[in-house]
Structure 1
Amino acid sequence: MHADTFGTFDDTLASGPRRTPLHALHLRRGARMVPFSGYDMPLHYPAGLLKEHLHTRAGAGLFDVSHMGQIALHADDPADAARALEALIPADILGLRSGRQRYGLLTDAAGGIRDDLMVARFGDRLVLVSYTTLRAPETGADL
């Protein structure tokens, strides 16, 4: 099994808040931008928080996760990658179907929470793990 990481978390690369690839789109849609984990991220849009909330409850919502760390795990047998993740994450990763995502917690040896993760399965050979920006270097090393 091998892993590929995406994104950079080298704080020396930016003098101010970083911008995600969707930054210009957020501005065009009228987002109120605020600093979050070293990035300029949307807080809300002109329609207002309540309307956004109700829309998401009734249909769907999107969240820009391009500021998060990402690791792609490749294995000849996807069950190997799933079992390796299940040793770190108390969640059913082995049963995760292609095209689905599961939220989980990265734990330490004592069962304490180190980070929260989103694990997605694409096809038979790829599991993408997205994790929070605040602990990106540590979480990337743990995974």
Structure 2
Amino acid sequence: MTTNDSAVSQLKRTPLYEQHRALGARLVEFGGWEMPVQYSGILDEHQAVRTRAGLFDVCHMGEFKVEGQDALAFLQYLVPNDVSRLAVQQALYTQLCLANGNVIDDLLIYHLAENHYMLVVNAANIDKDFAWVQEQERNFQHVSLSNQSDTTALIALQGPLAIAILQPLTKVDVKDIRYYRFAPVRSQAFIV
């Protein structure tokens, strides 16, 4: 085994890795992960997403669950935006900050249910972000924090045909989901 082979074997892989290989993706290192960067070419793929749709493997992102009676107060402490304005099934783009206001990372906060949130952080910062969030948790008595990054998979579908592609897979009326909102669903089909 060469040094390069050893470095590649140490990279993390998403649950879709074998599919990417089988479909001929060009794989590269990204934040400690072996990720697809392109299939047919940048211009072809850009045009496909702009005119039809593109499916993106974002399983490498980090997911932290925050639950409990003090979950909202805890999140209000961690980020500069007002998390209290989130309705259930609404998401917020914000920053994870140090006490002095310096930014650690940007993230999304999903309000899953009362006193139940999910933070989605950048792949390269999972360990650093979780350590910081966990350290801050000590100041809040009724908060449960868990890093679910290794057991959660994410994919992103975007482009003008995204709704038409997604709709047959669920009974939820996808076109009614507003910007930065989501709906829990059970898929009626799986795409592999």
Normalising to structure 1: TM-score of the pair?
0.71
Task: Find the residue that maps to 1:87 and give its secondary structure.
Answer: helix
- SS of the aligned residue for 1:82 comes to helix
Partner of 1:49: 42
Deviates more, 1:30-39 or 1:125-134: 125-134
Distance 1:92 1:60 in 2: 33
Whether the aligned pair in 1 keeps the contact of 2:72 and 2:115 (CA below 8 Å) is no
Structure 2 residue runs of 5 or longer lacking an equivalent are 1-7, 134-192
Question: Is residue 2:76 matched to residue 1:66?
Answer: no
User: How is 1:86-101 mapped onto 2 (pairs within 5 angstroms)?
Assistant: 86-101=76-91
Runs of 4+ in 1 over 6 A off after TM superposition: none
Runs of 5+ unmatched residues, structure 1: 1-13
Correspondence for 1:38: 32
Amino-acid identity (%):
35
Among 86, 99, 117, the residue aligned to 2:107:
117
- The change in CA–CA distance for 1:34 and 1:87 in structure 2 (over 3 A counts) is same
Instruction: State the structure with more CA Rg.
Output: 2
Paired residues, number: 126
C-alpha distance in 1, partners of 2:93/2:53? 17
TM-score, structure 2 normalization? 0.55
Q: 1:141 aligns with which of 131, 134, 138?
A: 131
- More helix by percentage: 2
Distance 2:52 2:68 in 1: 35
